[in-house]
Structure 1
C-alpha cells in the first residue's frame, strides 16, 4: 500500500492534535449504548440496555460496578464495551449505577449494598425480564468488576435465597497480602493502628473523588509519566488516541468512597484480610461466611493487573465452594472488562462459564 501524501499526513496529525488539546472536542464522540432507565432512586439507578431483537438467553445479566468508580467501566467505548458484548450475545443486560458519592453519604457501608442496593436490583431485573415474557428465567447472572465482585460475593453469601444464578468476578481480590501496592497501608496499620489510619477519612466523610482519581493514576505510574509522549507518537493513530482519552475521561469521572465503606475496606479487607479467611465481619455482631455461597462463581484475573494481581484473585477458589479461576494474563485491571484485548482474553472466559452454568441448570 503506497504511503499517504505528506499533506494528508500533516493534516491528520494537526486535526488529532487539536482534537486532544484543551480546546478540541476529542477524537471520538461516544454517548454510550442506548438504554432505558427502569428506576432512578439515589445510588441505585437501574437501566436496561436497549435491544433491537429479543434476547435469546433465558437469564438476564446484571452488571455490578465497584464503589468509587464510574459505571462507564462496562461501556467505555466502541469495541471496549462489555455491555455491548453481552447484548450482542443475546443477553438481556442491566446495569446498577451508584452515582455521585459525597459527604452526606458517609454512613453508607457494605451493608447498604449487601442488604439493599444489590438485592433490590436483582429482584427488579428478574421482574422486568419476566415481564418481557421470559418466564423461564430462574435467576440473574451477576457480573462484577473489582469491588463490584466483592459486593456481589458478600450479597450472595448474606442472602443465599436470592435468585442469583451465577457470579462472575473480574479482578476481584480475595487475598490482599498478595497485592504489593497495598502492603504499605497494611504495614502502617500495624504500626499506628486502624483508628489512626482511617481518622482523616472519618473527618472528610470518606475519600474525596479527587484523591480517588489521583490514587488510580498512581497505580500506573509508567502510563502517567509517558502519556504525553504516547499521545505525540500516535498523532496519526486515531484509534490509539481514542483509547487513551477514553481511559482519562473514565478516571476523571470517578466518584468518592463513602466513609463507612472505606473504613470497612481498609480494616476488614486490607488490614485483616478477612475475605481470605472466609469470614467478613460487617459489624461486631454480624459475620458473613463466604462458604454460604451456593451459586457457581468464576474469578477472572491477570498476572499483569497492578491493582488486583492474579494470585490475589485466584485465592478465591480456596475460599468460595466450587469456585473456578480463569487467567487473562496480559490485561490491566480496567483491561479485564474494557481493554482492547478483553474480547479474546477475559470475556471469552465469562462466555464459556455462563454457557456451562446454563447447561448445568438444565440437568
Structure 2
C-alpha cells in the first residue's frame, strides 16, 4: 500500500492552526478600525472611525447603518474585509450607528423608534459633525429597509444618497420564506406571534441559529472544510472572523419583530411600496434621493429578484441603480471578494454624488 506524503513545511502550520482553533486563543486577534464615540445612548451610540494623522479630515461623511440583530463588525470584519477602512482609504469619513444589545426590556420597541428617532438622529449628528453637509448612507440588509423608510417618512433629513447592500423588498421572492409563508396561511401566523410575545422578541440564540440555518450545507461541511484547509491560515482566519461575527449577534425587540413578521414577511407591504404601522402608512415613493442597490448572486437570504424590486417601488427617486456582485448575504458586503466586486460599485456611486454636488 502506498502512503501519502505530506509536505514537511505544511505540518507545523497545520498543527499550529489546529491548536489555535481548538485550545488556543484563535488564529488572529480582532483588529477593528479605531473609532471615537461622538454620541452615546440606548441603541443609538454613534461611532466615528478615526482618520489617521495626515489623512483627509475634510472627507465627505458616510453613515453606515447595520440591520438589527447583528454587530457593527459587519462593516469591519477584518483589516482586509473592512468597508469602514476602505471608505477611509478612498477619502471618506465613515461613522456607524451601534444599537448595542437588545434585551427583554426592549420588547416594546418597534420600527417607529428606528424610522423616526434613532436613524434620523444619527444622520443629523453626522451632518452636524461636518458643518451641516448632507451625508451619504450605506446600509446592509434590514438597515437599508429602515433607512429608506426613514427617508420616506422624513424627507427633510440631510441625506445626499442611499446605498443598500442585500436589502430585500419583495419578500414573496425569498425562497427561504416560502415554507413559513405557506404555513402561516393555515395558522394565521399565530405560532410565531405567540412565541415572539412570550419571549419578548427574537432572542440572540434564535437569531444565531437562523443565520446558521441559511447556510446549512456550509455548517455540515465545516469539519471537512477545516481539515482540508488546516495548512491555510488565511482561509481559516476568514472562517474564524465569521464565527466571531455570528457569536456577537444580539436579538430583535418583540414589537419590531412582530411588525416585521406580520407586515413585511407575511403581507409583503414593501413590495407594494409602503409599510403600514397601525393607522400610519409610510410611502416609499417619497424617497427623493439617488439610490444604489446591490444584491449578492449567492445570497441565500436576500435573492436578487427580491432586492431588484426596489427599482419598482422607489418611483420618486431621481436615480436608481441596481447592481449584482458575487457573494453570500454577509459575503457580498464583507467577503474576500467584496473589495473587487461590491465596493467598486459603492465607490463609483459616491464619486458620482460628489461630482454632482460640485457641479
Fold shared, TM-score > 0.5 on shorter chain:
yes
The 8 Å contact of residues 92 and 129 in structure 1, kept in 2 or not, is answered as: no
Instruction: Write out the 4+ residue segments of structure 1 that deviate beyond 4 Å after TM superposition.
Output: none
Question: C-alpha deviations, 1:314-353, integer Å up to 9, x for none?
Answer: 1100011345343334211101211100011111111111
Cα displacement (A) at 1:6: 4.5
The 8 Å contact of residues 303 and 311 in structure 1, kept in 2 or not, is answered as: no
Partner of residue 134, structure 1:
none
SS in 1 for 2:36: strand
Alignment partners' CA distance in 1, 2:325 and 2:55: 34
For 1:92-103, list aligned pairs within 5 A.
Answer: 92-103=93-104
SS in 1 for 2:27: coil
Partner of residue 295, structure 1:
289
For 1:16-27, list aligned pairs within 5 A.
Answer: 16-21=17-22, 23-27=23-27
> Which shows bigger deviation, 28-37 or 49-58?
49-58
SS in 2 for 1:326: strand
SS in 2 for 1:336: helix
Partner of residue 246, structure 1:
241
Task: State how many pairs are aligned.
Answer: 351
Partner of residue 155, structure 2:
160
SS in 2 for 1:92: strand
Cα displacement (A) at 1:197: 2.9
Cα displacement (A) at 1:302: 1.9
> Which shows bigger deviation, 240-249 or 30-39?
30-39
Alignment partners' CA distance in 2, 1:299 and 1:320: 11
Partner of residue 285, structure 1:
279
Alignment partners' CA distance in 1, 2:216 and 2:232: 23
SS in 1 for 2:37: strand
Partner of residue 219, structure 2:
224
TM-score by length of 1: 0.94
2:264 is equivalent to residue 263 of structure 1: no
Alignment partners' CA distance in 2, 1:325 and 1:25: 43
Cα displacement (A) at 1:356: 1.3
Alignment partners' CA distance in 2, 1:20 and 1:305: 27
SS in 1 for 2:130: helix
SS in 2 for 1:94: strand
The 8 Å contact of residues 152 and 282 in structure 2, kept in 1 or not, is answered as: yes
State the superposition RMSD in angstroms.
1.4
Residues 191 and 10 of structure 1: is their aligned pair in 2 closer, same or farther, counting only changes over 3 Å? same
2:310 is equivalent to residue 316 of structure 1: yes
Question: C-alpha deviations, 1:230-256, integer Å up to 9, x for none?
Answer: 111111110000000110110111001
Partner of residue 187, structure 2:
192
SS in 1 for 2:136: strand
